[in-house]
Amino acid sequence: MAILIVDDSPDQHLLLRSILTKAGHDQLIAVESAQAAFASLHLDEPPTSVDIDLILMDVLMPHIDGVAACRHIKQHAQVRDIPIIMVTAQNDLDNLKEAFSAGAMDYINKPVKSVELLARVSSALTLKKEMDCRKERETDLRRSNEELQRALREVKVLRGLIPICASCKKIRNDGGFWQQLEEYIGEHSEAEFSHGLCQPCLKKLYPSVYQD
């Protein structure tokens, strides 16, 4: 699972890379600014899948700080579910509240401790994996539901060429037998019939009763 490191400090890059690589995390991307992070996440491109599963975001960075970057990332649906862990040298409660409000899921204090980093990264990646599985199940369920609805719409819908007698209007069924029109339609659709007589038939059948 890929981890994006966003920090303007080369030393911090080396430290995080060293800890994560030794723990077996070999899919690491390191950038030095929020703008570079946005590019790695393809935020300026049409929505597409992104192969990043976790973001380690430094709080204090030039131009766009980590909290603002976190807020901006969470505004894009295609990357909204990527967990973001803030990496900060500040223990200021207001800053942490602001980070959580922006969408961060956790934080790590500098100087980074190996045990704490790996524990929080493991927890975040587990959460991401569970969220991906849930989204996949929801997608499969939605697709199955759409297929079911489509199948239901097509149930008992008459299709194709139907042989019908030009004289008596009976229909020849699949067994080669001739059926009354209403009987055939009743077997092949959800239609119900309410019988009556039209005016031409009334005049023909009951000439003495029907009045023009």
Structure-block tokens of residue 196? 């009556």
Say which CATH architecture domain 3-148 belongs to.
Answer: 3-Layer(aba) Sandwich (3.40)
pLDDT digits over 118-168, tens only? 999 999 999 999 988 988 898 888 888 888 887 776 666 677 788 888 888
Beta partners for residue 87, in sequence order: 58, 108
How many other CB atoms are there within 10 angstroms of residue 101's CB atom?
11
What's the chain's Rg over C-alpha atoms? 34
pLDDT digits over 29-70, tens only? 999 999 999 999 998 877 677 789 999 999 989 899 999 999
Q: Read out DSSP for 75-111?
A: TSTTTTTS-EEEEES---HHHHHHHHHHT--EEEESS
In the chain, what are the domain boundaries? Answer: 3-148, 156-212
Residue 177 phi, psi (nearest 5): -95, 150
